Amino acid sequence: MTLSLILLFIQGTEYVITVKPFCMSYEDFYAAFTADSHRSFRVTPSAGRMDRRGGQNTLLTIKCEPKGAAGTLTGTLVVNLPEDNSKLTYKITARSF
């Protein structure tokens, strides 16, 4: 599943993505931006354990620190659940001023 988000980042702004658990059991996950993403993007936590379906949501915090870069910054966030052989992909477009 791929979702697209367009965000307006002001220095120090963070956005939280809520991920509803969709697996039948607890699953380890790893979250990271792809190598071709703008280097100003960060995600926390970068690893953890997702609850099983119907359980608590997982919150991922995206931060963009452009350090002087202005314009449209793009990135692809991938949340990998290797034991379930599944992943979530978020296309992030940030506008920095």
Name all domains of the chain by residue range, CATH numbers in brackets. Answer: 2-96 (2.60.40.10)
Numbers of helices and strands, H then E, in the chain: 0, 8
What does the pLDDT read at residue 1?
57
Q: Is the dihedral of CA 23, 24, 29, 35 positive or negative?
A: negative
- Provide the whole-model pTM: 0.86
Query: Which two structure tokens, joined as six digits, stand for 5?
Result: 């988000």
Q: Is the dihedral of CA 97, 76, 89, 20 positive or negative?
A: negative
What does the pLDDT read at residue 31?
97
Q: What is the mean pLDDT of the chain?
A: 87
